[in-house]
Amino acid sequence: MSASEVNDGWGQVGELMHDWCRSLFPITRSITGEGVRTTLEFISRKIGGDFILNEVPTGTEVFDWVVPYEWNIRDAWVENEQGERIIDFQSNNLHLMGYSEPVDQWLDLEELQQHLYSLPEQPEAIPYVTSYYKRRWGFCLSEQHRQSLEPGRYRAVVDADFKPGVLNYGELVIPGESSQEVFLSTYVCHPSMANNELSGPVVTTAIARWLQSLPDRRYTYRIVFIPETIGSLTYLSRNLDHLKTHVIAGFNVSCIGDDRCYSYLPSRAGNTLADRAARHALHHIDSNYLRYTWLDRGSDERQYCAPGIDLPVASIMRSKHGKYPEYHTSLDDLSLVTPSGLEGGYNALKSAIEAIEINCRPMATCLGEPKMSKRGLRPTLSRVDSIEEDNILIMHLLTYSDGERDLIEIADLINIPIKQLGEMVRLLADQSLIRI
Amino acid sequence: MSASEVNDGWGQVGELMHDWCRSLFPITRSITGEGVRTTLEFISRKIGGDFILNEVPTGTEVFDWVVPYEWNIRDAWVENEQGERIIDFQSNNLHLMGYSEPVDQWLDLEELQQHLYSLPEQPEAIPYVTSYYKRRWGFCLSEQHRQSLEPGRYRAVVDADFKPGVLNYGELVIPGESSQEVFLSTYVCHPSMANNELSGPVVTTAIARWLQSLPDRRYTYRIVFIPETIGSLTYLSRNLDHLKTHVIAGFNVSCIGDDRCYSYLPSRAGNTLADRAARHALHHIDSNYLRYTWLDRGSDERQYCAPGIDLPVASIMRSKHGKYPEYHTSLDDLSLVTPSGLEGGYNALKSAIEAIEINCRPMATCLGEPKMSKRGLRPTLSRVDSIEEDNILIMHLLTYSDGERDLIEIADLINIPIKQLGEMVRLLADQSLIRI
Amino acid sequence: MSASEVNDGWGQVGELMHDWCRSLFPITRSITGEGVRTTLEFISRKIGGDFILNEVPTGTEVFDWVVPYEWNIRDAWVENEQGERIIDFQSNNLHLMGYSEPVDQWLDLEELQQHLYSLPEQPEAIPYVTSYYKRRWGFCLSEQHRQSLEPGRYRAVVDADFKPGVLNYGELVIPGESSQEVFLSTYVCHPSMANNELSGPVVTTAIARWLQSLPDRRYTYRIVFIPETIGSLTYLSRNLDHLKTHVIAGFNVSCIGDDRCYSYLPSRAGNTLADRAARHALHHIDSNYLRYTWLDRGSDERQYCAPGIDLPVASIMRSKHGKYPEYHTSLDDLSLVTPSGLEGGYNALKSAIEAIEINCRPMATCLGEPKMSKRGLRPTLSRVDSIEEDNILIMHLLTYSDGERDLIEIADLINIPIKQLGEMVRLLADQSLIRI
């Protein structure tokens, strides 16, 4: 599948990403283990040879944290006295609490209840529950399911390995003309859920393919596929100096696949290049996009924008984590995330990246307005309304080309997509009317 | 009466302050004279030995002004031909124009009228009138009263002394860990009126006692009880260098005893620490508090914030001077000023001072988010809504602890009272997660 | 006619300017030629001997442009086979496209149509059309008129000269105490139209006479009467260094003669002294004045505020160019522009200039409030509402006299016209209470 397929119109990239979601959905991902590696290998096949799989051993200190034991799960269930599996990890990997410790034990229903998790207010949903840093075991099930359990004896089995291993993450660097970098981060640690979080990895994979397909890029792109929190902390702890000196803008890619709305969450600083590009892009896609504040953060931006880290990382989302009813339940599935939802998210992120690529700080070379008519950029005949919209836009661009404003600011002043201005910048630069 | 009584819940400090008002109400205060001294002695008894009574001789130049003659009044009345006192200073000291010169003279009603002051639009109110810097005499009475005067001969008597003396003011310094100062100023020059102005002195006295009762204070507190205008100018002229180099925030305490509303008047600079603390405190007491502008000034902030003085002095009030109908009349009495009104004013001023005491500029020590679960500050189990409000707040505090924002700004960003954050600051500092 | 006539009340200066418009209206102006010179000579007679007529030869390079051939028109018409003039330049000079090349040619109606310009949506209006920099010829007529043309043969005659000559402009420097300059620019290149543009030259002429009539001026005034675009570019190319080092504020004077509204168009920088003075003046004339943005520019501000030129030039207008239906048609006539419309425009521009003349940065000399009563600026008797509005204003002025705020800012804070403050500034300076 060639990279150009990614770019061919609406249906195709959306369907393609949705296909990837369907392939990845059943895998049992967690912050470590086989599921992460299988997922990264899938992505590697889509992206190609530059994709590097890194591993960091259990016990490695990362800032205030330590890389935990690797967790691998083979099977897990609860069976009744008749030997019937009444809660079965094989049917939905959300049934098992993430990082459950191994167990094989008979219990009364009452004892079992201590290990069960359900959502009384969403009786049909299996909740997503984890206990990464404290050893326990548990099963998750719908409230309806739970209510149907009858008194009796139950056998709970978690057939898992808990031992020193590695934390895995994938990393891709796509070089550009400049060593300055645009940074993208997404996660690969969620089991069978779709918006949070297969949408992030698949949109990021598609963006990576689009970037690879470009004949040239102004900036270098650094793209990481990591487990949330411990992964971003691990990545930061190994690369902080490089990131702080190279990254001019970044995006945390998460919750970017449903059809409901577009959302923006700022960096902590609030007005970085990433923020400005994100707002510019979203404004021209749907000016009613939701603007969250830093108080609403909840994903890896928490690490990337932490005090002392201070990377310029903003978030472009569809329905934001924690703000849609299916969040962190079995209802966050492949009917919620759609081809068009993914495609919209992909296009929004792509527009923001394009804004960064196109952005420059043009400086007019002429004193006064240039004589545009001799360049065919203005009619020679002057009458009311004889000037075309494009001629007006080019004069707006010229008048704001003062070497202080950048193109995003100019586009925002004129209220047009920066892409339109980008073409005019090239035209004016070709005619030596601006320096960039 | 111990200082702790001041702090014991609602009714008590309000009632206590209202008691003080009742004791002080009958005293005939002016910008100089016995009334000021009696008032200061009363306050001294409440505050104790560190309270210093200062005196500045008549004729002392203070900036553009000169300390005037001291004025002492023994008695004053207007009697009719039958010898009946028909206007009597003994019944209400507002009946006599402040700083009236001595007189003993028979006049026709028509001549007498030249010396009478009333308010046609408030026919039951005796107006408060003074003539500090021009020698005249006069009597103030209600319009109803004035209308009842019959033609005839009247004897006007003002038995007053007008001679070189002193201007008095009281001063209290309560030391703190830092030599930086919080400055409080209130006045003791108004005769029998309550909101403007017994509320200021009694609330300031209660605040002084509260500050004295604290086991320690971060800042030093400088508190002055002065006559308005000439007193603040006098104090400034003697202490300007010290104040400019030590005062980090100050409040002019006036009109702080009725029940109607809360009011804020900014410093001239508008965004000093005092302003920010005042707005923060009032926002969490009653977010509909009235915000005046510097154009509405009218009390000693005029001097403290004058060009070249430039002290960071804001005002927290209940009904502001000039903005309530009873202002500067006999209707501004002890029914207008109430225990609950005084208590509310006291608490607002106390909250602003606490905000200043608590304020700091925290700096996170960890790169990335610390692992809160190992410190018991986050549940080890992760599921939707498993994080408690307090855990969220502490993460908000941490993420904004960048060494640039101060705690008032952080509290305003999160929209919670700074006191709540103060406790978390201590917790995080104890765990070495922030430096302050 | 003495300069004082200009200042004598409402009717007179408006009527005077309207008279000038009537005299100038019939003249066929263009960017070069006799019409410009006749117009400048008329203005010279009104302004007097300091008015300098400059000429710049055809072929002179001005930035990206070149001064074009001079164009002079003797006569132009279209006649039918009966020799009847059916389109006649003599009846309205808008009938001829500006800068039409000479022609004498018989054509079919169909061929003639290629050279005709009309406005289907304004069937009674003759449009204003020019072709300065491409050789063509054309006639303009109302759509109604055009519809009445019958098939047949027509003779088109343009009896014009097109040859090397000069570009003319007028320049007046009125010296002031300071060598810093206020710059006014208006144009003299439009044929028989009134708001755009006889209003600019006549209002500017009246302003020049008013400035000349003043006993003294703080600033030097530089006033130019130029053809639009090529004229301002020419003037800038010859005077840029001087203008950049001397001009503190400037106004482009155009579209300032109708009765409908007041309009403001900012400089590109947006908050220069000219902008602040314009907004201050208009706010106190009609606070509903229209505020355009730099995106709405369209007159010589395009050159004066171009990147690298960056002069502080704002625009005060009545109905803005391009924003009224009669714009650039024969309907923009002397019924649209009225004595009261011109007078309003004149007064608005005069107010802005006065704001600049009055503006200063006062600094209080006293610490604390001065004792105003001893200077007669405050009553010696203090009672509610005893202070007059003027006494309050003077205290506002004093408190803001901190050497940082200028008088326009102070007037805006207090929300009064700066002229009122100007009188108080003199009073306070006379009493040595402020330094300016």
Touching check for A311 and chain B: CB below 8 Å?
no
Cβ partners under 8 Å of residue B372, min gap 6: B378, B391, B394, B395
Which of A128, A134, A307 lies closest to B364 in CB terms?
A: A307
CA distance A20 to chain B (A): 27
Between helix A10-24 and helix A199-213 the angle, nearest 10°, is 130
Q: What pLDDT does residue C129 have?
A: 96
Mean pLDDT of A176-200: 97
pLDDT over 70 percentage in chain B: 97
Confidence of residue C380 (pLDDT cuts 50, 70, 90): confident
Q: What pLDDT does residue A382 have?
A: 80
Across the interface, whether the CB atoms of C382 and B303 are under 8 A apart is answered: no
User: How many other β-carbons are positioned within 10 Å of the β-carbon of residue A201?
Assistant: 27
CA distance B305 to chain C (A): 8
Which of C367, C399, C413 lies closest to B63 in CB terms?
A: C367
Q: For an interface test with B, give the residue of C365, C371, C401, C409 to mutate (most B CBs within 10 A).
A: C371
Q: What pLDDT does residue B383 have?
A: 76
Mean pLDDT of B256-277: 98
Q: What pLDDT does residue A11 have?
A: 53
- Per DSSP, the three-state class of C343 is helix
Touching check for C328 and chain A: CB below 8 Å?
yes
Q: Per residue in B231-254, pLDDT tens?
A: 999 999 999 999 999 999 999 999
Q: For an interface test with C, give the residue of B60, B63, B64, B196 to mutate (most C CBs within 10 A).
A: B64
Across the interface, whether the CB atoms of A64 and B369 are under 8 A apart is answered: yes
pLDDT over 70 percentage in chain A: 97
- Name the least confident of A326-335, A384-393, C332-341: A384-393
For the beta sheet containing A181-187, the strands, ordered from the edge strand earlier in sequence to the opposite edge, are A52-57, A166-174, A220-226, A181-187, A247-253, A313-317, A263-265, A290-291
Q: Which residues of B touch A99 (CB under 8 A)?
A: none
CA angle in degrees (0–180, nearest 5) for C29-C35-C41 = 125
Mark residue C310 as left, alpha or beta (left: phi above 0; alpha: psi -120 to 50; beta: remaining). left
Cβ partners under 8 Å of residue C217, min gap 6: C174, C175, C176, C177, C211, C357
Mean pLDDT of B27-52: 96
The CATH homologous superfamily to which domain A72-163 belongs is Domain of unknown function DUF2172 (3.50.30.90)
Q: Which chain B residue has the Cα nearest residue C387?
A: B298
Confidence of residue B421 (pLDDT cuts 50, 70, 90): very high
Q: Which chain A residues in 165-204 lie under 8 Å from chain B, judged by CB atoms?
A: none
Query: Which two tokens mark A357?
Result: 């690529």
Q: Which residues of C touch A374 (CB under 8 A)?
A: 133
Q: Which chain B residue has the Cα nearest residue C400?
A: B307
Across the interface, whether the CB atoms of B127 and C363 are under 8 A apart is answered: no
Identify the CA nearest to B190 among candidates B227, B232, B142: B227
Across the interface, whether the CB atoms of B307 and C373 are under 8 A apart is answered: no
The answer, yes or no, to whether residue C422 has pLDDT greater than 90, is: yes
Which of C382, C398, C413 lies closest to B129 in CB terms?
A: C382
* Cβ proximity of B358 and B421 under 8 Å: yes
Helix (H), strand (E) counts: chain C:
13, 18
Q: Which chain B residue has the Cα nearest residue C375?
A: B64
Which of A373, A384, A398 lies closest to C133 in CB terms?
A: A373
What are the φ and ψ backbone dihedral angles of B70, each rounded to 5 degrees? Answer: -80, 140
User: How many other β-carbons are positioned within 10 Å of the β-carbon of residue B248?
Assistant: 18
Q: For an interface test with C, give the residue of B243, B295, B296 to mutate (most C CBs within 10 A).
A: B295
Touching check for C2 and chain B: CB below 8 Å?
no
Handedness of CA A393, A395, A397, A399 (dihedral sign): negative
Q: Which residues of B touch A268 (CB under 8 A)?
A: 399, 402
Q: Per residue in A241-288, pLDDT tens?
A: 999 999 999 999 999 999 999 999 999 999 999 999 999 999 999 999
Q: For an interface test with C, give the residue of A363, A373, A382, A392 to mutate (most C CBs within 10 A).
A: A382
Touching check for B309 and chain C: CB below 8 Å?
yes
Q: Per residue in C168-204, pLDDT tens?
A: 999 999 999 999 999 999 999 999 999 999 999 999 9
Q: Per residue in A80-121, pLDDT tens?
A: 999 999 999 999 999 999 999 999 999 999 999 999 999 999
CA distance C385 to chain B (A): 9
Across the interface, whether the CB atoms of C306 and A414 are under 8 A apart is answered: no
Across the interface, whether the CB atoms of A328 and B384 are under 8 A apart is answered: yes
- The two beta strands, A85-88 and B65-66, are unpaired
Across the interface, whether the CB atoms of A364 and C229 are under 8 A apart is answered: no
Touching check for B370 and chain A: CB below 8 Å?
yes
Across the interface, whether the CB atoms of A381 and C134 are under 8 A apart is answered: yes
CA distance A422 to chain C (A): 19
Query: Which two tokens mark A100?
Result: 């459950």
Q: What pLDDT does residue C1 have?
A: 37
Report CA Rg, chain C.
25
Touching check for B233 and chain C: CB below 8 Å?
yes
pLDDT over 70 percentage in chain C: 97
The DSSP H or E segment spanning A65 is strand A65-66
Which of A127, A268, A310 lies closest to B384 in CB terms?
A: A127
User: How many other β-carbons are positioned within 10 Å of the β-carbon of residue B74?
Assistant: 11
User: How many other β-carbons are positioned within 10 Å of the β-carbon of residue A315?
Assistant: 30
CATH match for C71-163 among 3.40.50.150, 3.40.190.10, 3.50.30.90, 3.20.20.70: 3.50.30.90
Domain assignments of chain A as residue spans, ordered by start: 3-67+166-358, 72-163, 363-435
- Per DSSP, the three-state class of C113 is helix
Question: Count of alpha carbons within 13 Å of A120, Cβ hemisphere only?
Answer: 0
Burial group, residue C55, by CB count within 10 angstroms (0-12, 13-18, 19+)? middle
Mean pLDDT of A167-175: 98
Chains that touch B (3 or more CB pairs under 8 A): A, C
User: How many other β-carbons are positioned within 10 Å of the β-carbon of residue B429?
Assistant: 15
* Cβ proximity of A426 and A412 under 8 Å: no
CA distances from C283 to B67, C296, C407, C418 (A): 44, 20, 15, 11
Q: What pLDDT does residue C11 have?
A: 53
Q: Which chain B residue has the Cα nearest residue A133?
A: B380
Across the interface, whether the CB atoms of B367 and A327 are under 8 A apart is answered: no
- Please state the ipTM of this predicted complex: 0.93
Query: Which two tokens mark B286?
Result: 């009653």
**How far apart are the C-alpha atoms of A390 and A392, rounded to whole Å?**
5
CA distances from C200 to A178, A395, C301 (A): 52, 24, 14
Q: What is the separation, in whole angstroms, between the first and last Cα of chain C?
A: 37
**How far apart are the C-alpha atoms of C208 and C187, rounded to whole Å?**
15
Q: Which chain A residues in 382-411 lie under 8 Å from chain C, judged by CB atoms?
A: 382-384, 395-396, 398-403
CA distance A382 to chain B (A): 52
Across the interface, whether the CB atoms of A381 and C130 are under 8 A apart is answered: yes
- The two beta strands, A181-187 and A220-226, are parallel
CA distances from C353 to C14, C419, C425 (A): 18, 11, 18
Computed over every residue of chain B, the mean pLDDT equals 95
Computed over every residue of chain A, the mean pLDDT equals 95
* Cβ proximity of A71 and A189 under 8 Å: no
**How far apart are the C-alpha atoms of C252 and C138, rounded to whole Å?**
31
Query: Which two tokens mark C154?
Result: 């027509």
**How far apart are the C-alpha atoms of A93 and A26, rounded to whole Å?**
8
Identify the CA nearest to A235 among candidates A163, A311, A295, A290: A311
Q: Per residue in C5-63, pLDDT tens?
A: 444 444 599 999 999 999 999 999 999 999 999 999 999 999 987 999 999 999 999 99
Query: Which two tokens mark C31?
Result: 């960017």
Q: Per residue in C294-345, pLDDT tens?
A: 999 999 999 999 999 999 999 999 999 999 999 999 999 999 999 999 999 9
Q: Which chain B residue has the Cα nearest residue A329?
A: B384
**How far apart are the C-alpha atoms of B16 and B6, rounded to whole Å?**
8
A72-163 shares the fold of A3-67+166-358: no
| Largest distance between two CA atoms of chain B | 93
Across the interface, whether the CB atoms of C127 and A370 are under 8 A apart is answered: no
Q: What pLDDT does residue C10 have?
A: 45
Chains that touch C (3 or more CB pairs under 8 A): A, B
Mean pLDDT of B34-56: 95
Touching check for B366 and chain A: CB below 8 Å?
yes
The answer, yes or no, to whether residue B5 has pLDDT greater than 70, is: no
Across the interface, whether the CB atoms of B328 and C380 are under 8 A apart is answered: no
Q: Which chain A residue has the Cα nearest residue B364?
A: A307
Mean pLDDT of C413-432: 95
Which of C134, C307, C327 lies closest to A384 in CB terms?
A: C327
Q: What pLDDT does residue C386 have?
A: 62
* Cβ proximity of B167 and B56 under 8 Å: yes
Touching check for C334 and chain A: CB below 8 Å?
no
- Per DSSP, the three-state class of C187 is strand
Across the interface, whether the CB atoms of B399 and A63 are under 8 A apart is answered: no
CATH number of B3-67+166-358: 3.40.630.10
Question: Count of alpha carbons within 13 Å of B156, Cβ hemisphere only?
Answer: 24
Mark residue B101 as left, alpha or beta (left: phi above 0; alpha: psi -120 to 50; beta: remaining). beta
* Cβ proximity of B180 and B246 under 8 Å: yes
**How far apart are the C-alpha atoms of B263 and B317, rounded to whole Å?**
5
Q: What pLDDT does residue A381 have?
A: 81
- Per DSSP, the three-state class of C433 is coil
User: How many other β-carbons are positioned within 10 Å of the β-carbon of residue A214?
Assistant: 14
Report CA Rg, chain A.
25
Helix (H), strand (E) counts: chain B:
13, 18
Touching check for B3 and chain C: CB below 8 Å?
no
- Per DSSP, the three-state class of B173 is strand
Q: Which chain C residue has the Cα nearest residue A381?
A: C131
- Please report, to the nearest 10 degrees, the dihedral formed by the alpha carbons of residues A158, A163, A166, A168 taken in order: 0
**How far apart are the C-alpha atoms of B154 and B146, rounded to whole Å?**
13
Q: For an interface test with B, give the residue of C363, C377, C384 to mutate (most B CBs within 10 A).
A: C384
